[in-house]
Amino acid sequence: MPTKTRSDVRFSAARVVALAALLAPLFAASPVQAQATQQGAPSAKDVAAINAVKAALSKYKDPVVAVRDGYLSTVGCVDFPGGATGHGSMEYKPGAMGVHFINMALVGPKLDSTKPQVLLYEPVGDKLVLTGAEWFVPTQLAKTPPTVLGHKLMGPMEGHEPIMPAELHHWDLHVWLWKANPNGMFSATNSAVKCPTTGYGYSFADAPPKMVKP
C-alpha cells in the first residue's frame, strides 16, 4: 500500500478545512434558512420577513390564546393522502393540512403578512401543535391572486369540504413555519403532518378541491 507523504497529509487537511468552511453556513442557519436551502424557497431576502411572521405568531403555540384572539377551530383534520396532479383540481402533493383555525375578522382583500387568516395545527396525542399559517381570500373580494411574502396565493378553488362549503371559492397560501415540509415551505400540503386515524374522530381524507373561475 502506498505511503502518504507529508504533502499529501497537508493537502488532505486543506481540503477538509475548505469543505468545513463551505458547510458551516448551512449548519449555522436558522430552521427557516435551512429549509429554504433544501427546498429552494424562500429566497435569502425573504428569511427576515418569515422570521418576523414566526415571532408575531409564536404566542399561538397555545391554541387557547388563538381562540381568545378570534381564531376559531374548524375541528376537522384535513388530509390529502393521494394528492392530485391537476386535471381540473388543485395540484397537491400527498400530505395533510391539519386542523384549521380561522379568524373571520381578518378576512379581506388586503393581506398583512403578520396577520394570516388561518392558523394550522397538527393533533399530536392530546395536544394541538402549531405547524403553520395560511392566507385566505374569497374570490368575491379579489378577482386576481393576492400576494404575500413574495408569493401569489394559489387558486382559485372551491371550499374545502366538509369544513367549509364548496361554494366558498377562494385563493389561499400555506407556509409551514414550525414543521419542516418535504413538499416545500409554501406547498399546500405537508407530508410530515399526520391526521390521526385513531383517537381523534374528526380526521378527513379527501380529494383536492376543484379549480374554479375567479
Q: Is 19 part of a structural domain of the chain?
A: no
Residue 29 lies in a domain: no
For residue 77, give the C-alpha cell: 383534520
Rg, the chain, Cα only: 21
In a domain, 87, yes or no: yes
The three state secondary structure string of 78-131 is: EEECCCEECCCECEECCEEEEEEEECHHHCCCCCCCCCCCEEEEEEECCEEEEE
Per residue in 112-144, pLDDT (tens digit) is 999 999 999 999 999 999 999 999 999 999 999
Cβ-based burial of 180 (10 A; exposed 0-12, middle 13-18, buried ≥19): middle
**Looking at the 3D structure of the chain, how many domains does it have?**
1
Asked if residue 1 belongs to a domain, the reply is: no
| Phi, then psi, of 34 in degrees rounded to 5 | -65, -45
Q: Is residue 122 part of a domain?
A: yes
Residue 58 domain boundaries: 40-205
pLDDT digits (tens, 9 = 90+) for 196-205: 999 999 999 9
In a domain, 15, yes or no: no
Q: Is residue 137 part of a domain?
A: yes
